[in-house]
Amino acid sequence: MKALVTGGAGFIGSHLVDRLMEEGHEVRVLDNLSAGSVENIRRWLENERFEFIKGDMADFETVKKAIEGVDVVSHLAANPEVRISSQSPEKLYESNVTITYNLLEAMRNSDVEYLVFTSSSTVYGEASVIPTPEDYGPMEPISVYGGAKLAAEALISGYAHIFGFRAISFRLANIIGARSNHGVIYDFINKLRRNPDELEILGDGTQRKSYLHVSDTVEGMLHIFEHFRREGKTYDVYNLGNDDWITVKEIAEIVSEEMGLKPEFRFTGGVDGGRGWKGDVKFMLLDVSKAKSTGWKPKLNSYEAVRRTVRELLEG
């Protein structure tokens, strides 16, 4: 297949690009490099099956050009930082909703057959059912980030049903691994490099969430996409995460141990009952039984994924 990966120079996107290239597909990347890096895809730049377009999806003509001749679009371009929900809601709207609308408008008069979208567990908000299944409702995001992802999902579903392409959304748990440049593990490592004796931990440390290594994420996306293609649905949604979860304090302990340090933990206390920031979902565990029913399952649990990620980031 010929694939377009938006945000393909970013964290998850570049790992997806690696797999697609290794499997022999033609791959085009569209990325404005606001969150990604050319270094993540440098190994492919001279490959005849690979094309890189530096461009912003806010520009419709750029998007229109990027989808020419492709069979499938994997749409990963987004602002990945949940924490800016309260400071810059307009940025999250533009980088999650507006660019998705531009992509869909370009696709509706094209020959693109499939759209793969990376959504987020944040669409569920503070779910009363844990583990949370795909059919949970009502959806009530508690951050602008979660709201923007849910809005993008709704647009994709509407366009797919009206304009004759097929689409799948993956609601991702916390995805971690090499090349990540934000998130709790990345923050902890940088804080301890600055001050090995003390580690500031946002919130009360009891926040508990599911973490999935990026290698398991990409494997899951590709495996389930093939299942989706065979199944014949116009639109479908899958959770991608782990069966277990881990607290922020436990992550701090693993990071400290891997760095050979014994810092004093200083908890900020957080907001709204110990959250790290306003809009932070304190407890998140996805029901991944639907994904596992296709034959996929993660190789690393949350604890193993965290430890491997710490080692990868320290080596990188």
pLDDT in tens, 240-261: 999 999 999 999 999 999 999 9
- Residue 136 annotated as catalytic: no
Residue among 136, 145, 159, 238 flagged as catalytic: 145
Q: Which two tokens stand for residue 266?
A: 């200083």
List the one residue out of 197, 228, 175 whose CA is nearest residue 11: 175
Query: Any idea which residue has 């693109």 for tokens?
Result: 112
Q: For 159-185, write each residue's pLDDT tens digit.
A: 999 999 999 999 999 999 999 999 999
* Token duo for residue 155: 């647009």
Residues of the chain with pLDDT under 50: none
Q: Which domains does the chain have, with CATH numbers?
A: 2-175+211-240 (3.40.50.720), 180-210+243-284+293-315 (3.90.25.10)
What pTM was estimated for this model as a whole?
Answer: 0.96
- 90 contact partners, CB below 8 Å, separation of at least 6: none
Q: Are residues 30 and 23 in contact, defined by beta-carbon separation less than 8 angstroms?
A: no
**Tokens, residue 50:** 């690979």
